[in-house]
């Protein structure tokens, strides 16, 4: 099993739940629809929800070229990106031993602005495909003005960790005989029926990747 790439990414509480294999980390990053990007501006930490996508050994984020998040992340400052997948609520007999089943990944590093046009387009394609696989081939591609208005930052995946909890509650042996229900309520993200835009011209059908939308399963 892979070891933590650095002292600061080593999982301390329940270290047996720490996973450092890229296959595990990549699967979490790929399944998670959004991330939370953390960065510090003038001593104030901000944690902002945003879309991400992984391409090989890099994680990409995008946003308005004038947004504080993108300007801060492209300034070469330390950043932290977290993706969390919630798999279930774990109800133990005691509130103390109750928990959640989850898979989460934390990526530390310094983001860089992607200025190379080809890499920027690849990253935008990855972001679009991350949200809805099949959409890039279908949707109108960005114009030059739209490309200019959009900033993309990339972060290397060389300092990251995952933490994974699975399974039933682990109660104190003294609590097991209590007449209190214990177990797991599984949770998963599920798509509802697609709702067409009110101004959709007649005859435009629902593409298969929309009709059968689902996140990857871990
Ligand atoms: C699911 C999801 C996906 C998103 N994907 C993207 C993306 O891919 N790219 C992107 O640029 N933005 C995305 N956003 C929006 C993003 O969270 C920020 O709102 C946006 O980047 C802020 O830009 P800003 O420069 O205006 O705000 P900032 O100057 O960064 O924020 C100013 C203040 O506004 C408040 N604020 C900002 N955003 C939020 C928020 N989301 N919720 C509550 N308060 C907030 C905070 O108090 C913050 O300090 C996403 C949001 C969500 C919820």
CA torsion, ordered 30, 38, 62, 69, to nearest 10 deg: 170
Residue 216 lies inside a defined structural domain of this protein: no
Choosing from 44, 69, 82 the residue with most ligand 1 atoms within 8 A of its CB, the one to mutate for a pocket test is 69
Residue 154 lies in a domain: yes
Query: What CATH number is associated with residue 41?
Result: 2.30.110.10
Ligand 1, atom 11, lies closest to the CA of 63
Considering the domain boundaries, does residue 195 fall inside one?
Answer: no
Is 83 a member of any domain? yes
In eight-state DSSP terms, residue 178 is: S
Please check whether residue 62 lies inside any domain of the structure.
yes
CA–CA separation, 160 and 149 (whole Å): 30
Specify if 178 maps to a domain.
no
The span from the CA of 110 to the CA of 75, in Å, is 9
Whether ligand 1 lies within 6 angstroms of the CB of 67 is answered as yes
Identify the pLDDT of residue 216.
66
> Which pLDDT value is given to residue 11?
85
pLDDT per residue as tens digits for the range 51-109: 999 999 999 999 999 999 999 998 888 999 999 999 999 999 999 999 999 999 999 99
How close is the Cα of 11 to the center of ligand 1, in Å? Answer: 28
Q: How many domains, in total, are found in the chain?
A: 1
Q: Do the bridges between strand 44-55 and strand 34-41 make them parallel or antiparallel, or are there none, so unpaired? A: antiparallel
**Is residue 40 assigned to a domain?**
yes
Q: Which domain holds residue 150?
A: 7-169
Ligand 1 midpoint to CA 150 (Å): 14
Is 72 domain-assigned? yes
Sign of the alpha-carbon torsion through 38, 31, 8, 165: positive
């Amino acid at each position: 099993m892979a070891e933590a790439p650095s002292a600061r990414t080593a999982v301390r509480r329940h270290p047996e739940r720490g996973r450092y294999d890229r296959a595990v980390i990549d699967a979490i990053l790929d399944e998670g629809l959004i991330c939370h990007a953390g960065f510090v501006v003038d001593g104030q930490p901000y944690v902002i929800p945003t879309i991400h996508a992984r391409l090989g050994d890099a994680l990409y984020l995008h946003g308005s070229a004038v947004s504080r998040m993108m300007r801060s992340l492209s300034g070469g400052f330390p950043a932290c990106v977290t993706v969390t997948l919630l798999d279930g609520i774990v109800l133990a007999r005691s509130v103390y031993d109750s928990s959640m089943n989850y898979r989460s990944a934390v990526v530390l590093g310094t983001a860089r602005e992607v200025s190379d046009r080809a890499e920027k387009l690849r990253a935008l394609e990855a972001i679009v495909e991350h949200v809805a696989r099949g959409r890039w081939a279908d949707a109108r591609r960005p114009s030059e003005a739209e490309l200019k208005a959009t900033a993309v930052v990339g972060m290397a995946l060389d300092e990251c960790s995952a933490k994974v909890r699975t399974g039933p509650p682990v109660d104190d042996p003294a609590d097991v005989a209590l007449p209190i229900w214990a177990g797991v309520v599984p949770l998963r993200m599920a798509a509802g029926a697609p709702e067409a835009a009110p101004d959709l011209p007649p005859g435009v059908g629902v593409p298969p990747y929309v009709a059968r939308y689902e996140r990857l399963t871990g």
